[in-house]
Amino acid sequence: MTDMIATNRNTAILGLGATGLSVARFLSSIGKPFVFADSRTAPPRLEEARESYPDVPVVLGSFEADLLLGFDTVVVSPGISLEEPALVAAQQQKVKLLGDVELFLEHAKAPVVLITGSNGKSTVTKLVGEMAQASGLKVGVGGNLGTPMLDLLDDENQLYVIELSSFQLELVTDTRGAISAILNISPDHMDRYADLQQYHAAKHRIFRGASQVIFNRQDALTNPLLSVAVKLCNFGLNRPDLANFGLLDEEGETWLAYGLKPLMRSAELALKGRHNIANALAALALGQAAGLDMAAMLTTLTRFTGLSHRCEYVATVDGVTYIDDSKGTNIGATVAALNGFGEDDRANLILIAGGQGKGQNFTELKAPLGKFVKLLALFGEDAQSIAETLSGTTQIETLASLQAAVDCARAVAQPGDIVLLSPACASFDMFSGFEERGRCFQQAVTAVAA
């Protein structure tokens, strides 16, 4: 065993990122000693860790197979695969593996809403959080979105609204009575999972031990597989059954509805795009399950304009609208955006996409491309292979940079068209993250406007 880690400390924190540091802060607050380990030689929070915890041992570099065998508990950051040989060996020797989710659920003293899905989970998490605030509650909002969940723990909080990724769910066995939702499931992170079934199984861990379950009745992959008796509620962009959420057509207008009761006109939503109507319905279902005030929730829907880089309006230049959906890092997100902004009677979209494809199969884009997109402008590491997969669906250009893609889109767009950045890919080939990619897009559009 590595000498540096052979100490009397029986808990190891694997991963020196935002999650790992939040775990360290939590364990310190309860007086539990720990050590750090990271497979990288220069992890992003190394200096912060050493300054905050100068007496805590740190092991860096590739994990040896026996690295964790002297510990009782290992807290695993979500970026680390459970197939890592050191973790496999630890499990075989009955070392307890946890994520920050399990620690959070054990110590949270207020009701918890858990939200996952391939797309829309950040929007719905933020929206439910704002609904809770409008209802007069002190609420902690975070998880995969924003603040790490362990940093949210506060005895004064009356509700927690937590976004979870599939990675964070891989070790969850009991959500301890949480209100849990899966919004949708489409292939993502296929560079980590063997197949869609494995990814699906990780997502569905969110329903284990839940007190109430929310799912998308139009996405069969979200249907709960559990046979336990829990309260169920569903949502969808069609007519709802009693005690579920959906859409009603009344006097030529579309209404968000609960059962047969119209709640508000869809045109009153501050969020735009059909996919965001589904997000609004999911948020209403979650809010109702958490006991939030319906009037406050509906008022929130008229004001909430969404997250940065998630179908965010940037500008209208010469009659052309520019939309930043840089947070659309998988195919399902881009399909949702295309369906949300596309017009049935003409190809009104210029799509800017590309980056790191994460092993996804891009054929799912063929149908919406053929229906809604007049030009696909591709850039980034996997642009050429994506172009080959989608050949014949619409006009395709492969370009050297995001700036070149914006210039190409501008040259083709006509008044009434929408230029949509929705990459369907990770950004790390060219950018520090989707945020930087989105900012660069917005800067390019601002230059066009000027």
Q: What are the tens digits of pLDDT across the range 15-64?
A: 999 999 999 999 999 999 999 999 999 998 999 999 999 999 999 999 99
Name the residues annotated as catalytic: 121, 144, 189
CA distance 354 to 376: 10
What is the average pLDDT value for the chain, to the nearest integer? Answer: 93
- Dist. CA 247–CA 278, nearest whole Å: 9
Q: For residues 169 and 116, is the Cβ–Cβ distance under 8 A?
A: yes
Q: Which CATH number fits domain 3-98: 3.40.50.720, 1.10.150.120, 1.10.3720.10, 3.60.20.10?
A: 3.40.50.720
Q: From the options 3.40.1190.10, 1.20.120.420, 2.10.70.10, 3.90.1200.10, give the CATH code of 102-303.
A: 3.40.1190.10
Q: Is the pLDDT of residue 319 over 60?
A: yes
Q: Quick one: pLDDT at residue 7?
A: 53
User: Per-residue pLDDT averaged across 257-279, rounded?
Assistant: 94
pLDDT of residue 332: 86
Tokens found for residue 381: 């590491």
What would the mean pLDDT of 178-196 be, rounded to a whole number? Answer: 86
CATH ID of 312-449, from 3.40.50.150, 3.90.190.20, 3.30.499.10, 3.10.290.10 = 3.90.190.20
Q: Is 129 annotated as a binding residue?
A: no
Does the annotation place 138 within a ligand binding site?
no
- The span from the CA of 348 to the CA of 58, in Å, is 54
Question: In the predicted model, what is the mean pLDDT of residues 428-450?
Answer: 94
Annotation-wise, does 432 bind a ligand? no
pLDDT of residue 449: 83
* Percent of the chain topping pLDDT 90: 84
Residue 177 annotated as lining a ligand binding site: no
Residue-level pLDDT at 190: 65
Which tens digits make up the pLDDT trace of 101-133?
999 999 999 999 999 999 899 999 999 999 999
Region at 310 (left for phi over 0; alpha for psi -120 to 50; beta for the rest)? beta
Q: Is 121 annotated as a binding residue?
A: yes
Name the percent of the chain lying above pLDDT 70: 97
Q: Is 332 labelled a binding residue? A: no
Per-residue confidence band for 8, with pLDDT thresholds at 50, 70 and 90: low
- pLDDT score of 9 more than 80: no
Confidence of residue 251 (pLDDT cuts 50, 70, 90): confident
Domain boundaries, the chain: 3-98, 102-303, 312-449
- Overall pTM > 0.75: yes
Per-residue pLDDT tens digits for 346-385:
899 999 999 999 889 999 999 999 999 999 999 999 999 9
